[in-house]
Structures are given as structure tokens and as C-alpha cells.
Chains A and B, each alone.
Chain A
Amino acid sequence: MSGEIKPLLAIRGLHTQFHTFEGIVKAVDGVDMEVFPGETLGLVGESGCGKSVTALSILQLLRCPPAEIQGRILFEGINLLDLGRERIRKIRGNSISMIFQEPMTSLNPVLTIGEQIAEAIFLHQRTSKHEAWERAIEMLHTVQIPEPRARARDYPHKLSGGMRQRAMIAMALSCHPQLLLADEPSTALDVTIQAQIMDLMQRLKEEFETSIVLITHNLGLIAEMAKRVVVMYAGKVAEEAPVEDLFKEPLHPYTQGLLGSIPWIGRKLKTGRRQLQEIPGIVPSPLEMPQGCRFHPRCPRVMGVCREQEPAVVRLADHRLVSCWLKAE
């Protein structure tokens, strides 16, 4: 990203940890990242890498304690972590909103779809109840729910998974947020429905000029939707790059391994190999993080220094960042 454009969101030294009976779980351990106006940032990683916790930390949707959030989360220059409960509530769902993986558990089952969307509009935009209701119906129309006036009176259980996710998106965008955090928004959906939802998000992003943080483990979705990508591993940023560069020339051995291990249509024909590249071993337990580089026990190019010292994040040319001893000066 060019230096002149100010980031909409800048995360600086974010540490989110959970105090559990077994010890302290450092879910996010020193993460920096930026989101620029109007862009889609892809955040990838496997379960437990801290990608969801990063998003939840931004909106402070974690119960503290057991969670403890440290660092700075600057949204338009204001540190969200300094704001009190009341002020952060004014931001949630208004200038920053979030959609979740499972729309059934994130919608309120005892309120109709329309009531839930209207509530956000009524609370944030100081409209009359009637106007909020009308705008909720308009939003349902925008996300292409057929017969929006009738659907607004339905309870969440009456809608299909795809329709529920549309309703979630309608709610998230009802106050025209500047930033949308989408946490695995299509993982629970079938591919044809996923395609509909992604198409919808892309269109709405252009219409409302919303910045999106797309959190997913699906590298195909990242390739299609994101402009820049942050790869996380075990609570840290492993690599950051513009999307074309990341797929063309991944620098971190973890990113290389991830790209090698996914089957994609045509791969077998192209490479003539049935075996996929493997990343040996498993993601480390957050209670027993390896010393040095956290990826070293699984890394095919491990060196002596990797076992002892953590690599710093190195800034390379072309807006690329990597945290690996192979790239350290």
C-alpha cells in the first residue's frame, strides 16, 4: 500500500490471551496489520491460528476476564481499546460490523428477522421505529431476499442457511459500516450458495464502499475476493502480501506448504501427481508453543537459529512482509 493513504484500521502489537485453568493461552501474540479504505483484506490460517480472535478483539466481543486484550487498535486514529463500553457499543454494528460463520447461532431465535435488523437501525441512526422497519425491509431487498416484506416477519428458523446468511449481511450493512469483519461467512454453506453470497458481498462492497476483512481457511475464496492477504500461524503473522504475489511466490515455508497441500481442480492433470504436498505434524497446542519460530517443528527448511530465536517480521519490497529466518538479513 502506498504511504500516503491512511489506513482505516491499524492494529499495533495486539496481544489477546485467555486465562484458563491449564494456563495462559496466547491466542494472538503480537499482531500488526492494517486495513485500507475500500479494500478487502484476506486473513487466512488454520483453526487455532488466532484469526477469529483478532476479529473479536477489534470489536471487543470477548468476555474479559478470562480474555485480556493488549495493544492498540486504531480505527480512524482512535484507539478502540481506550473506549468505554458505551462508546464501543456505538461503534459495533454502526461503523464496524461483523458477520459470523453460523448464522443460526448468531441470529436471535425469538425475534423476527425484520425486528433484528430494525433494532440496529433504530439504535444507531435515531430513526422512528416505523422508518427503521421500512429500512430493514429495504435492506432485505438489497440482499436479494425474495418477498422481503413477508420474510421480515419470519423467525430465523424458517429461513434456509443461505437466506439466513443474507439476513445477517443485511443486518451488518444496515447502518452502512466503514468496515465489515466477515468471519468464515460461507464455510457452512454449499458451494452454489457460497457463490451467491460472495457475489452479493462483492456487489455490496462496491455499492457501500465498505472495507472488508475476510477471515477464512479457504484459499480459493481469498484468491477470488481479497486484494491483500495476511497469513497467520499460531497467533502470529507469518506473511503478508498482495494476493497475486502470495499465490505466485509464497515466501514463508508455511504459506508454501498450505498452497501445496490444497487439492484444486485440474491440479492432478497438470502436475501428474496424485500425492499432495504435506505439512508434517499438527498445529502446536497454544499452551505449549515451541521455542523460536513457532513453525519450526513442521518446517522442511528448518535451521539451527529457528529453534532458538523467534524471527522478526521483515519488510520487503513490493509491500510484502514475512517472518522467517530464511528471509532475514
Chain B
Amino acid sequence: MALLEVRNLKKHFPLKTGILSRTIGHVRAVDGVSFTLERGETLGLVGESGCGKTTVGRSILRLIEPTSGQVIFNDQNLLALDRAQMRQARASLQIIFQDPFSSLDPRMSVGQIIAEPIRNYLKVSRREIGHRVAYLIDKVGLHPEQMSRYPHEFSGGQRQRIGIARALALNPMAIICDEPVSALDVSIQAQVINLLIQLQEEMNLSYLFIAHDLSVVEHISDRVAVMYLGRIVELATDRELYQNPQHPYTQALLSAVPLPDPGIRKQRILLEGDVPSPLNPPSGCAFHTRCAERDEVCAHQEPTFRDLGDDHWVACHLR
């Protein structure tokens, strides 16, 4: 039994206009996403801006209320829980945000930020909270004397460490990492990636790792899902996905990544145009407007998400 199972998750944002707020359409940010996350595993969720990857992460935690679907976490359907139950469930399912500048309260000290979830959820003495905070601060590589400082006194990488400590405060089983390193410089990015890997090994954490950087995702993930316009188009183990991509979009995406090796001259698949609007996604396969291999069927019929064997899933008529 997977730790987290997402079934046919949808989030359609109504688009309203005028003083009467009439709904004139829906932005289909997430349009039928299914995947599982095993215990101790990292599932990478990649895609370009606007593909809905962040909305998936937030819908799972119900920070955004999904339109339909099921989210089974630890044998509980999160979407069926009431507020109080959901609050309890969030203790084991945490999130780290992209921007370490806006995700920490500037008026709370680091110690208070990390202690807050403990105070909110556990009935423990002040002393115990102090011990726990000191332990967490050490765990993420900060110094105990930094506990009374405020977020603005820290660099981006250190702030991300504070966010990680806060997420770890309640000993969660899984963490949704929403672009946790994309705002950081490369040398700092490596420090935070290493920290996440090390914490996972020590605490058997599961990560849903949401990012747009394909190299980072490949590095940290065990399996990778590629999203395009609100849907997963391909899902496989990282090795399989990067060595043997099947979906034309995945192939184009991977060929576009510049490699730090001047000797390699890659054959690049250049996609034409931009990602279409999720307000009015193309019929059939959403990628067909930009696909070099498109066939007649692609414009009319939506491809099913099929297993090609070895747990390599792809949504394409031609495979």
C-alpha cells in the first residue's frame, strides 16, 4: 500500500468577470492527475510554468480545495476529512515552499517559527519544546545561537533550512517540496539538496519533489512524473525516463536542457510556439498542437495513460 495515492485529481479555477462575478470559463490547472508515492521514496514532478505542478502539491494538502478526485494518505481520504481532521492529517504531511523570503513570518524569531507547529499540535512542556527546537536546528545545519534571530538576518539557503526544520518539527512521513532550491545559487542549491537527501535517509521520509529544473529532479528522484497542461504525460523511474523517454514532450524537454559539457553537441528538438492556455486546452491530446509526430487521432481523442512495461507509463497514441 502506497503512503500517498492521488487518483484523478482535478482543480478547475473558475474565471470570473464583471461586477456580478459571472463565471465565464474554467482554468483547468489540474485535469485528472493520478500517481502514488511510496514510503521513503522521492517522486519528482516536473513541468514548465503553468503546467499545474504547484497546484497538485497544494491540492493534496488542501491549501487549495481541489475540484474532484481522491487523495489517499496513510489509508485516509484527505478530501473527505473535515477541518479538524485535516488539521491532524497535516502533522504527517508537510510542505516546503519555493520562496524562503515570503514563507517565514518576519516578526517571529527562528526559534518561535520552528516551535510553532510543536506548540500547536503537541501538549508538551516548554522545556521539551526547547529541546526539540534545538535538535531540529542542529539537524538542518544551523547553529543554536541563531535561534533568537529573525528571518531577515539569514541568507536564502539558511532560510530554506529554517523552512525545512519547521516542516520536520512534527516528524512527518511525507514532505511536499515545492521548488525548494530554485531560488538559490548553485553552490547553496547543492547544500540544500544534500541536506534533503541526508534527512530522507535518516528519517525514511517520502518527498513529492516539485521542480522545473530537470537536472535537479533527476538527481534527487527515484521516479519522475512529467506534467503538461494539467496532466501527467509520462511517469517512470528516473533512469528509465531520462535514458529512454517515450513521450514526444518529454523528449523535447530533455533535449532542451543544456549540459555542462562543451564536447557534446546535442540534437535538439525545438518545440514551436508556447504552451497553450489551460483556459482553453487543445482537444484530444493537449500536446498535439506542438508535437512533431502528431497523427490524425491526436487532435480528436485523448490518449489513455498506459503502462508500457517496467512501470513506464505514458499518455500518447503513438506509443
Residues of A at under 8 Å CB distance from B?
46-47, 146, 160, 162-163, 190-196, 198-199, 217-224, 243-244, 247, 257-269, 274-280, 282-283
Q: Across the interface, which residues of B come within 8 angstroms of A217, CB to CB?
A: 185-186
A223 to chain B: closest CB distance in Å? Answer: 4
Q: Across the interface, which residues of A come within 8 angstroms of B214, CB to CB?
A: 191, 265
B202 to chain A: closest CB distance in Å? Answer: 13
Q: How many A-B residue pairs have CB under 8 A?
A: 131
| Contact across chains for A192 and B260 when beta carbons are under 8 A apart | no
| Contact across chains for B257 and A261 when beta carbons are under 8 A apart | no
**Interface readout for B269-281 with A: 1 if CB under 8 Å, 0 if not?**
0110111000000
A203 to chain B: closest CB distance in Å? Answer: 11
- A265 and B48 in contact, given A192-B253, A196-B270 (Cβ under 8 angstroms): no
Residues of B at under 8 Å CB distance from A?
48-49, 155, 157-158, 185-191, 193-194, 197-198, 212, 214-216, 218-220, 238-239, 242, 252-264, 268, 270-271, 273-275
B42 to chain A: closest CB distance in Å? Answer: 10
| Contact across chains for A275 and B194 when beta carbons are under 8 A apart | yes
| Contact across chains for B271 and A278 when beta carbons are under 8 A apart | no
| Contact across chains for B187 and A263 when beta carbons are under 8 A apart | no
Q: Across the interface, which residues of A come within 8 angstroms of B186, CB to CB?
A: 46, 217, 219, 258, 261-262
Give the distance in Å from the alpha carbon of A224 to the alpha carbon of B255 in the complex: 13
Give the distance in Å from the alpha carbon of A277 to the alpha carbon of B270 in the complex: 32
A182 to chain B: closest CB distance in Å? Answer: 14
Selected from B48, B190, B215, the residue in CB contact (under 8 A) with A277 is B190
B203 to chain A: closest CB distance in Å? Answer: 15
Q: Quick one: which of A146, A160, A195, A196 has the most chain B CB within 10 A? A: A195
**SS class of chain B's interface: helix, strand, loop or mixed?**
helix
Q: Across the interface, which residues of B come within 8 angstroms of A244, CB to CB?
A: 262-263
| Contact across chains for B191 and A278 when beta carbons are under 8 A apart | yes
Please name 8 further chain A to chain B contacts, defined as beta carbons within 8 Å, in addition to the given A217-B186, A266-B218, A268-B219, sorted by A numbering. A190-B212, A191-B253, A192-B253, A220-B260, A263-B190, A263-B193, A267-B219, A282-B188
| Contact across chains for B253 and A220 when beta carbons are under 8 A apart | no
Q: Across the interface, which residues of A come within 8 angstroms of B155, CB to CB?
A: 282
Chain B residue at minimum C-beta to C-beta distance from A224: B258
Give the distance in Å from the alpha carbon of A283 to the alpha carbon of B189 in the complex: 13
Chain A residue at minimum C-beta to C-beta distance from B197: A274
| Contact across chains for A47 and B185 when beta carbons are under 8 A apart | yes
Q: Quick one: which of A198, A244, A263 has the most chain B CB within 10 A? A: A263
Q: Across the interface, which residues of B come within 8 angstroms of A265, CB to CB?
A: 214-215, 218, 242, 254, 257, 259
| Contact across chains for B262 and A224 when beta carbons are under 8 A apart | yes
| Contact across chains for B194 and A266 when beta carbons are under 8 A apart | no
| Contact across chains for B268 and A195 when beta carbons are under 8 A apart | yes
Selected from A146, A223, A257, A279, the residue in CB contact (under 8 A) with B260 is A223
Q: Across the interface, which residues of A come within 8 angstroms of B260, CB to CB?
A: 219-220, 222-223, 247, 259, 262, 264
